Chains A and B, each alone.
Chain A
Amino acid sequence: MGRMTDDCLYRLADVRKDYESFTLHIGNLDVHGGEVLGLLGPTGAGKSTLLRLLAGLCRADQGDLGFERRAFASGDVALPVRRRITLVHQRPLLLSGTVRFNVEYGLRLRGRKQIAETGNAMLERLGLSKLARQSALTLSGGQTQLVALARALVIEPEVLLLDEPTAHLDPAHVARVEETIREVRQERRMTVVWATHNLFQARRVADRAALLLNGQLVEAVSTEQFFSNPSDPRTDDFVQGRMVY
């Protein structure tokens, strides 16, 4: 399980989230400030639910979820705290209007200055400049994911929660997204929790990796240990592709 250090950003202890046919249970998990935590697990393991809890978009039914050592009453998270955290959803929904309007949306919410310049820079960064004036509702699945990532990155969140952000992208764009996030992290401190099915991607981008199975956290260790010497045999089975879901 995660280390207990001073730079602990999130601390989850015995957190439960119950649904009719599914329960997420996180025994102990720390997310450290500035790290990239890869969240792995099969479909339906609870990755999206965990991300929603971390984003403050739903309330834990039991347990303690702390953010910066303060109780994080998920569901009623104060706006200033919520504005430091952004979740890029697995199936992003864009607003009617142009791509530019969508990318600038978060900046407008915050009443930021130089909206057009900031928006242009982000459009350029993710190769979306040519689509800037296009209606966001006419984009392909991959383009929609890029716009969703752009509108999240442009507001410079301290915590970026990614739910399969490259699932519909071609390899070139996957590389571009990974590179952009790497660059942003070099420019400023940003904590990333990155849910992915792609083991290779997790190995490339994550400092630590966590495995979720059937709503249970199996382990969260350094990426190197996760792939070469996991402490739980289920992690080894998952990594080696021996696991039957």
Chain B
Amino acid sequence: MFPVAAEFLPIVRLSLVVSGTAVLISSSIGVPCGVWLGLSRWRGRRAIAVMIHTGMALPPVVIGLLLYLLLSRSGPLAFLGWLFTPEAMIAAQTILALPFVIGITVSSVAAVPTELGSQIKSLGASDWQCRWTILREARRGVWLAVAAAFGRSLSEVGAVLIVGGNIQGHTRVLTTAIILETSKGRFEFALALGAVLLLVALLVNALILRLQENRWVA
């Protein structure tokens, strides 16, 4: 194996594992929450929506700092032993991606005509079947939410740097490696890492677009 590839591959692999897991967790929580919020009509819904949209603008370094304080030796979550581990990085990216998944899912579900729900029910759909069908109709938006969450996770640097520590072979991902290599003056290597980052984002988004276009049977 080429020495550069040997240096590259663990970083790329960890980036995919951390961001992929964070997107999986945030989607598992965010899509059901988004569907529920998108279909519900209670009073506090607007306030929740404002909070979610604010969450989309959360600075990653602030999340990183808060999570660092929670996970540090004197913090309430110290018993987890997650500080400077991939688990802490996944937690940080999940928190950052979650508002994107919920917010975009809410908008997509709310864009489905309200009348469709009663028409589906009049064909004999149970409440769950009704929700599933509406989610199916909003699927393009939901996949967009997943793509946005992945983009946010993969390109984020502040939070993973604080809670991960950028430890070689342990918590070093593409973005933190780019910062390190730039500070060391290895611009060619940093640029190559940047190109890999873009390529990974391109491939994942192409996959998501493909899923967006596929028929999703209710």
Contact = CB atoms under 8 A, between A and B. Distances in A.
Nearest to B115: A93
B124 A83 contact: yes
B40 interface: no
B118 interface: yes
A57 B122 contact: yes
A155 B123 CA distance: 8
A110 B124 contact: yes
- Secondary structure of the A contact surface, majority rule: mixed
A52 B122 CA distance: 9
A172 interface: no
Given A93-B116, A97-B215, A86 B122 contact: yes
B121 interface: yes
Q: Chain A: interface residue count, which band?
A: 20 to 34
A55 B124 contact: no
B215 A106 contact: no
Contact of B124 (A57, A89, A93, A106): A106
Nearest to B122: A87
A93 B133 CA distance: 13
Contacts of A57: 118, 121-122
Given A105-B218, A108-B218, A95 B136 contact: yes
Nearest to A96: B137
B119 A92 contact: yes
Contact of A55 (B122, B126, B129): B122
Given A86-B122, A95-B137, A106-B124, 18 more contacts: A55-B122, A57-B121, A57-B122, A83-B124, A87-B119, A87-B122, A89-B115, A95-B116, A95-B218, A96-B136, A101-B217, A108-B217, A108-B218, A109-B123, A109-B126, A151-B123, A155-B123, A155-B124
Interface of A: 52, 55, 57, 79, 82-83, 85-87, 89, 91-93, 95-97, 101, 105-106, 108-110, 151-152, 155, 161
